[in-house]
A and B are shown apart, each in its own frame.
Chain A
Amino acid sequence: MSLLVRGVGASVLVQDLGRPGWAHLGVPRSGALDLPAAALAQRLVGNEPSAAGLEVLLGGLEVGADDAVWVAVTGAPCQVDVDGRSREFAAPVWLPAGGTLKLGRPATGLRSYVAVAGGVAVEPVLGSRSTDTLGRVGPPPVAVGDVLSVGTTSGSPAAVDATRPPAPGPLRLQPGPRAERIDGDAVDLLCRTSYTVSPDSDRIGLRLVGDPLPLARSEELPSEGMVLGAVQVPPDGRPVVFLADHPTTGGYPVVAVVDEADLWQCAQLRPGEPVRFTRAARR
């Protein structure tokens, strides 16, 4: 079966768990930015965790189904309509043959996730169906008129999903490999500074607006490998938290690293919203 795309809103991307293992060739890992939300959607329709779904920025997705299928919408809470009738959010939803699924604009958060039983079956590239917005690896962004193949259903939709969703809170920080590039304790300074989300944040990085961090030295480092969650400080002193499509190498110092378990929040923070950090407990 397949889905015919009739509306995409701001941005709709195919995303799965991403393609780790290719960073040495300059390929970002990519993958769903809010992984717990994407995983919940896949579980709700009975898919394997590795199945691909749609990452929908600020609603607006409209798709028609040529055959009946279970779908689920999670992440940023939004109105879910099937053929104009309201359906439950974060639950298995029956989309009948010839039916239309429509997502409204979320009141909070940024990214909603749509899973379809059987998974979105675009051609994988380097082991993943994710769209990487930095290096343009994987399928192009979903566009109106696209016909998205859907794979074969492997499981049944979940009657109940009892997994407790992660709780939002300050982003937990570990010291980074170049913390000494900051005048003072980098983690302390990040925790004490009031930041908000810059409007030029994207899947590459969450850019922060706030008092600049005092750099002890401003010259670039020899390029080195970058990790997911790296807090990189460019010469202007305004930190960037690296997200799934981050460059694989770079020369600006990484002064702290956000715990991977907290990065889902970066997928949902809107421009202008506050960002708080806290020091992670030692492991």
Chain B
Amino acid sequence: MHLLPVGREAVLVEVGSSAEAVSLAAWARDHRLATDVVPGAETVLLDGAVDRDRLPDLLASWRPGAVPEGPEVVVPVVYDGPDLAFLADHWGCTTDDVVQRHRSPVYVSAFCGFSPGFAYLSGLPGDLAEVPRRGSPRTRVPAGSVALAGRWCGVYPGATPGGWRLLGHTDATLWDPAQAEPALLAPGTRVRFEDVG
């Protein structure tokens, strides 16, 4: 673990992996270490840190796995995305194999970004080639689109421009600020995709 100061109010904590970042973020949130506890791919930002001078001591008592796993959510997907053929070509398999490979793992929401409720889901099999983004993003990706980029899976909460490769779509509500838990896929949530096509 490596601590980097960020301005006067924040500290960026580098850890070894996305799984550790998820675990540390959940722990830091439980311990109310900062106003905003923001996991990244391999880091946790503690913004508005309550006591920056004592953070090294406090963080020393965290261990990976110190908090229980997050809740599990099942996302129903119709696999009818326009990039299935691209992915089949990229991975050298059939489109049925693409669906099978996508829906097999249990994913973990690692962090959010891009738009409210957009979660970066880790869990794609490590032996699959990383998925390149489109050279030019689509001007409008429909809400509920299930997509891949790099080693991440994501589901677009609302209609936005986007450069990820589209596998299919879901009717699940990803973002509802009227709810106590506004994001369906908050960091730490475990996610399974169910083929309902």
A interface, CB within 8 angstroms of B? 20-27, 29, 125-126, 134-137, 174-177, 222-227, 229-230, 247-250, 254, 257-260, 283
**A260 contact from B8, B40, B182, Cβ within 8 A:** B8
Contacts of A259 in B (CB 8 A): 7-8
Neighbouring A residues of B44 by C-beta, 8 Å: 225
In the complex, per-residue mask of B27-57: 1 if CB is within 8 Å of any chain A CB, else 0 = 0010000011111111111011000000000
Identify 14 residue pairs between A and B in the complex whose beta-carbon atoms are under 8 Å apart, listed by A's number.
Answer: A24-B37, A25-B112, A26-B112, A136-B158, A176-B6, A222-B40, A223-B111, A223-B113, A224-B12, A225-B12, A230-B6, A249-B40, A254-B6, A258-B7
Inside 8 A of A226's CB, which chain B residues have their CB? 45
Flag if A249 contacts B113 (CB, 8 Å).
Answer: yes
The docked-state distance in angstroms from the alpha carbon of A191 to that of B182 is: 41
User: Given the interface contacts A225-B12, A227-B9, A260-B9, does A23 sit within 8 Å of B183 by beta carbon?
Assistant: no
Contact A27 B116 (CB under 8 A): yes
Minimum C-beta distance from A254 to chain B (A): 7
Shortest B46–chain A CB gap in Å is 9
Q: Is B144 located at the chain interface by the 8 A CB criterion?
A: no
Residues of chain A within 8 A (CB-CB) of B155 are none
How many of chain B's residues touch chain A, expressed as a range? 35 or more
On B, residues with C-beta under 8 Å from A are: 4-10, 12, 25, 29, 35-45, 47-48, 111-118, 120, 158, 177, 182-183, 186-187
- The answer for the CA separation of A65 and B41 in the assembled complex, in Å, is 50
> B43, A24: Cβ atoms under 8 Å?
no
Taken together as a complex, chains A and B put the C-alpha atoms of A223 and B117 apart, in Å, by: 16
